[in-house]
Amino acid sequence: MARLLILYASREGQTARIVERMADIARGRGHAVEIVRCRRFSVPPSPDPFAGVLVGGSIHLGRHERSLERFVAAHHDVLERLPAGFFSVSLSAASPRAEVRAAAQGYVDDFLQETGWHPRVTASFAGALAYTRYGPLKRWFMRRVVARHSDDTDTRRDYEYTDWEAVGCFAAAFLDRLERWPE
């Protein structure tokens, strides 16, 4: 059994749901999981006592939360030596257009380039449109952006695009590495 840290940043809750799914999978394989939400002014724990770390966050206006960047920068050396994974959650990853999905992969690449981190596994997951959880201004803004390319504009409901099978595969790939560590 390994002790695993999953650190994430989420605004409307979809990344939190993805994290819960990953944690369920890890617990099902006998591991102890600590989930920590990274907030703007929070001081997350050091990853040092953990056997493995997953870091994930959503995209808002083209970037991940700075709190995640700060966490990776502060613990860069530990994260480089542990089995670790990074995942990103965005609407671009849900697009049927290849160039938009490439932009979602670009968010992952930018984060890793800016932090100089080399996690063993990475992924870009489609998130959700959470109209019912947005305030009026955000709801109006998101509907306007979405209407350019999609019919998912009914703001009385939410739209979830996350491929849960892909989330499961990512978690399994990470746990396989963790369980074989050191490789």
Interacting residues with ligand FMN (CB under 6 A): 10-15, 58-62, 89-92, 104, 127-129, 138, 142
Closest to ligand FMN by CB, 82 or 129: 129
Closest to ligand FMN by CB, 10 or 122: 10
Residue 118 to residue 95: CA distance in whole angstroms:
26
Q: Minimum distance from CB of 64 to ligand FMN (Å)?
A: 10
Residue found under tokens 């970037």: 63
Closest to ligand FMN by CB, 38 or 129: 129
Q: Minimum distance from CB of 180 to ligand FMN (Å)?
A: 30
Q: Minimum distance from CB of 136 to ligand FMN (Å)?
A: 13
DSSP conformation letters of 32-85: EEEEEE--TT--PPPSTT-SEEEEEEE-BTTB--HHHHHHHHHTHHHHHHS-EE
Residue 134 to residue 143: CA distance in whole angstroms:
11
